[in-house]
Structures are given as C-alpha cells and as structure tokens.
Amino acid sequence: MSLRSCPAEIDAAPRLSLARDPSGNMRVESCLVCFGRQGPELGLVIGINELGERIIAHTGGDEQTLAQLMSADPIGQQGAVGQENGVNLIEL
C-alpha cells in the first residue's frame, strides 16, 4: 500500500451502517469527554451493537457513566443504550 493508494483503499473498505433502533447493548469502540470551565460535562460514546451496527450515544446527566469514562479505559466495555426524547443515552 502506498500513500497514493491509501484514500482509495479506505473508501473501498466496508462501512458499518447506523442502527435503526439503537436501544439495547453495545460495545464501546471510542469515546471522548467534553469539559467546560467547571470540569467534565458530557461523554460521547461510539460503539457497535450485537447486529454489527454503529451507535452513537452520550451520557446525558449520568454522572456515574461520565466518571467511568474518565477513570478507566472503557474501550471494549459493554453498555446499555436507551432513548429519551429522541436522544441516545448510554449507561455503563
């Protein structure tokens, strides 16, 4: 693979589709914590469900899940996703 062929190879790779129904279990693949002036405010999590579909969720007001994202590496952990007012929320 050369640097010139890299974009074409990436574009040709299979892609995961977004989950039509994101409720249920997911495995954390990536995350980030957003900080404000007073400290951590929100965690964003990207993962994959049991059907191999992509899910994007956040911690909402769940301070315990937000703390877990910061205290240990959450990659590979299982989480439960639910919806509230059309927003995907994760709980670890």
Residue 24 lies in a domain: yes
Type of residue at 53:
E
Asked, for residue 3, whether it belongs to a domain, the answer is: no
Task: To the nearest 10°, report the CA torsion of 23, 24, 25, 30.
Answer: 0
Q: What is the pLDDT of residues 20-45, one digit of tens each?
A: 999 999 999 999 999 999 999 999 99
For residues 83 and 92, give the distance between their C-alpha atoms in angstroms, rounded to a whole number. 15
Q: How many domains does the chain have?
A: 1
| Residues forming beta bridges with residue 87, ordered by sequence position | 84
Residue 10 lies in a domain: no
pTM of the model as a whole: 0.82
CATH number for the domain including 87?
2.40.50.840
Position 30 in a domain: yes
Asked whether residue 2 carries a pLDDT value surpassing 70, the answer given is: no
